A and B are shown apart, each in its own frame.
Chain A
Amino acid sequence: MSAATPPTSVSTSPTAGSVWRGGRGVLAIALLVLVTAVVPVLLSSPGTGDRPLDPADSSLQGGKALAQLLRRHGVSVERVESVSAMAASAGPDSQLLIGDTVALSADDARVIAAAGGDRLIAGPQTHLDILAKGVLTGKDVRSRSREPGCALPEATRAGSAFVGGVSFVAPAGAAGCYPAAGRPTLVRHTVDGATVTVIGDSAFMTNMRLAEDGNAALALNLTGAKPRLIWLTAPEKPVTGVTGTGEGKTLGELIPDAVPWAMLQLAVAVAVVAVWRGRRLGPVVAERLPVVVRASETVEGRGRLYRARRARDRAAQALRAAAIDRMAPRLGLPPTAAPEEIVAAATVRTGREAPEVRSALYGPAPADDGALVALAGQLDTLERQVRDS
């Protein structure tokens, strides 16, 4: 240990205490952000998620508000998820509500049509010819607040409502309300003894729209017509048919249950490896470096400027001056010699014609780049002749 070195080194690593003191503020803020993000999610009702027009869904697209209103008015709401369940519980004292979120096959539609009981079909449906015989789908129209424009008591009592979606062509004897471009968007008629109501858009029944206009009244009037409302909602998993056996399993169902967990374990491994590779052995070393600039850059820049501006006059002048500077001592002349003296001396020395030498050394600026290159060659030749002779 030499005298110049300090006896012990100084540790610069933070201690556990200093890490805690430095990081606790950040930790507190991160915790706060996490809590404010998580708490509302936990407090909100465990709804069925993004399932529109579901009597159990409290989101904007759900139908929980309407279901609660109906129950308050003494109507029992039965939520069913399959067509078979719907058909089973259908009866003369019940009304079936089929929203546009349910994709029905032709068989499903026939089962519903055969179940009997009144039907309320909200929103565009594909198998309208089976569900509501005689009603034809017309053009798409914009949903907005519309006037009843008919004698149907449910509609006139409710007044204007947010309807539209699809207009229909009503069969003879049917009641058509809320017309859009001359065609009704709500049609009620009787098929095989059952009252069938078709409405072009189900949005007025959602939690978002229910409080507007006469939407709530219209919805209650339409859905509360019978003591029981059987509400068909989209099932958790798409049902392929009433007799679906599920012979076509998806790829996800074929993978063993342990594989996703093994993937999770691999993700942990990747995180561990990331920490391993990401930890640097000591800080990055910065160094104040000297400037790196070639001294010839100014000359190169001047050359490029000459080239860009096609400055043949200046370029020729520089080349000629350099050639004269080099030749004058060889010709026995001072650097300040007059042009005529230099031309005369060079003519004598090289044996070339005086006009030729004069045009090389003191001629006009070259007309184009080719002439400039030629001039450089002439000057070289002249210089070599002066030097060698």
Chain B
Amino acid sequence: MALTGRAGLLAALGALVVLVAPAPPVAVLGLALLLAVLVAVDLLLAGGVRGLRLHRDGERLVRLGESVTVGLVVENPGRRRVKGVVRDAWPPSAGAAPCHLKLDVPAGQRRRLVTTLTPTRRGDREAVTVTVRSVGPLGLAARQGSHLVPWSVRVLPPFLSRKHLPGKLARLRELDGRHPALVRGQGTEFDSLREYVVGDDVRSIDWRATARRSDVVVRTWRPERDRRVLIVLDTGRTSAGRVGVAPHPGQPSGWPRLDWSMDAALLLAALAARAGDRVDFLAHDRTVRAWLSGASRSDLLSSLVNAMAPIEAELVEADAPGMVSAVLARAKRRCLVVLLTDLNAAAMEEGLLPVLPRLSSRHTVLVAAVADPRVADMASGRGTAELVYDAAAAERLRGERRWITARLRGQGVEVVDAPPEELAPALADAYLALKAAGRL
């Protein structure tokens, strides 16, 4: 039950009646009784909300930063018209609008209401409750009730770095195009035989084939295909730190490292899928948070964003030995392990470095980390003592990162350390470089 502003107005106007009434106490009592009777009558005549049947339709997936509409169909099987307002409650970060919807359903009919969701962060958003307030014909009182109408919308990572994809694919084709003879590195794959033309590397002449035919024949090579790329996402505490500027409003202190890492992982996955490699995905902190394997090349990206969407940074120290074991258990054949984590000297030295040889002895390892542009800003601070102290602290952190990078490189691990917006292209470049060198 709920009252309306009209009931309050009626009670306030009653004060004027009391002023001119011959017997004010009786008038007050009478007005109170009148109001109570009118409210009771209105409540009785209002359409029932308990019997309403509601269900939803609409979208279930949305990219972060885009809007999506969800329909709510209200069916009124009762004998009275249901007129009033509806609140379709969603969590605040689902960005539901409008928050109140007008409703007018005659008896036995149905109406469709539309709520627009503009989520402000990644993950699954569940609808909470639908509350209907049905106002009586006098407009003095209303019946109110809530219904559970389950629906969930999955907010996918936005894949901002897809703008870099055409450029990287062009470089990949370049790599493909300069296939014959010029690149004869270790690990490149035999493609076909063709006639020798002037300028070909004499070392690529296939003498056996030449002997069979009367012409000089060379082998051609192409970049290796069907290699495996395993993207490992560290979802531990260091991935929760926010860096850079969030691409969508509503997150003033930046975007978590995790989201930047996902963005880079998506570009790498898209590129690797086009290059003919198989991409697997593992998210790990103390346990396996997500595992995606064997996705076909056409639906790799959609499977990947689906697997990534519900992952949140956990406030626990990542278990590096457990992560290495999980990788080794899943990657039977040699593959490129791309580890998206943070170059935190203390955490790395105790966690990853001792167990890294187990991983790098069997796989090619690439560590990618998001650098904090704020630290670079601080490091260039000069002029006052405060700024110089901050600069010293920033330099110390950068020194630690340089040191850990040198340690990792010393163990034969590739390291990509780039600011948030540049991480995805830098990681793609590192992948292309490895591919060109035939190190996959």
Contact = CB atoms under 8 A, between A and B. Distances in A.
A314 B392 CA distance: 8
Contacts of B312: 290
A256 B22 CA distance: 12
Interface residues of B, number: 91
A2 B70 CA distance: 13
Interface string B372-408: 1011001100111110111111111111001000100
A295 B243 contact: yes
B55 interface: yes
A283 B388 contact: no
B242 A315 contact: no
Contacts of A283: 89, 128-129, 131, 146
A376 B53 contact: no
B44 to A, nearest CB: 13
Nearest to B72: A9
Nearest to A315: B392
A54 B12 CA distance: 44
A292 B256 CA distance: 8
A322 interface: yes
B422 to A, nearest CB: 16
A10 interface: yes
A272 interface: yes
A304 B388 CA distance: 11
A263 B145 CA distance: 34
Given A5-B57, A318-B399, A303 B146 contact: no
B5 A273 contact: yes
Q: Is the interface of A mostly helix, strand, loop or mixed?
A: helix
A7 B151 CA distance: 13
Contacts, number: 244
Contacts of B50: 11, 13, 15
Contacts of A291: 240, 313, 315
A306 interface: yes
B121 A306 contact: no
Given A281-B144, A283-B146, A295-B372, A265 B242 contact: no
Given A261-B24, A265-B14, A322-B399, A11 B147 contact: yes
B331 interface: no
Contact of B144 (A260, A272, A275, A279): A279
Interface string B17-43: 111110011011001100100000000
A321 B395 contact: yes
Contacts of A1: 55, 57, 73
Nearest to B90: A285
A378 B296 CA distance: 58
A290 B49 CA distance: 36
A47 B312 CA distance: 72
A372 B385 contact: yes
Contacts of A268: 11, 14, 28, 31-32, 35
A389 interface: no
Contact of B53 (A9, A292, A372): A9
B144 A13 contact: yes
**Chain A contact patch, size range:** 35 or more
Contacts of A352: none
Interface in A305-324: 305-307, 311, 314-316, 318-319, 321-322
Nearest to B84: A281
A296 B393 CA distance: 11
Given A13-B50, A296-B372, A290 B256 contact: yes
Interface in A1-54: 1-2, 5-13, 15
A7 B55 CA distance: 7
Contacts of B383: 373
B138 interface: no
B13 to A, nearest CB: 8
Contacts of A367: none
Nearest to A322: B395
B2 interface: yes
A338 interface: no
Contacts of A377: 382
B257 interface: yes
A24 to B, nearest CB: 18
Given A269-B11, A299-B397, A281 B389 contact: no
Contacts of B19: 256, 258-259, 262
A372 to B, nearest CB: 6
B148 A315 contact: no
A7 B149 CA distance: 10
B21 A11 contact: no
Contacts of A276: 2-5, 7-8
A1 to B, nearest CB: 6
B67 to A, nearest CB: 19
B11 A265 contact: yes
Given A268-B32, A318-B392, A13 B7 contact: no
Contacts of A305: 393
A297 B394 CA distance: 11
Contacts of B49: 11, 13
Interface string A210-222: 0000000000000
Contacts of B394: 299, 303
A261 B91 contact: no
Interface of A: 1-2, 5-13, 15, 256-266, 268-269, 272-273, 275-276, 279, 281-283, 285, 287, 289-300, 302-307, 311, 314-316, 318-319, 321-322, 325, 335, 369-370, 372-373, 376-377, 380
13 contacts: A5-B57, A8-B54, A8-B55, A257-B24, A258-B21, A272-B3, A272-B11, A273-B11, A282-B128, A290-B256, A303-B378, A318-B393, A376-B391
Given A9-B149, A264-B28, A276-B2, 8 more contacts: A10-B148, A279-B2, A282-B89, A283-B131, A290-B312, A303-B391, A303-B393, A306-B393
4 A-B pairs with the lowest CB-CB distances in the bound complex, closest first? A295-B241, A282-B131, A261-B24, A315-B392
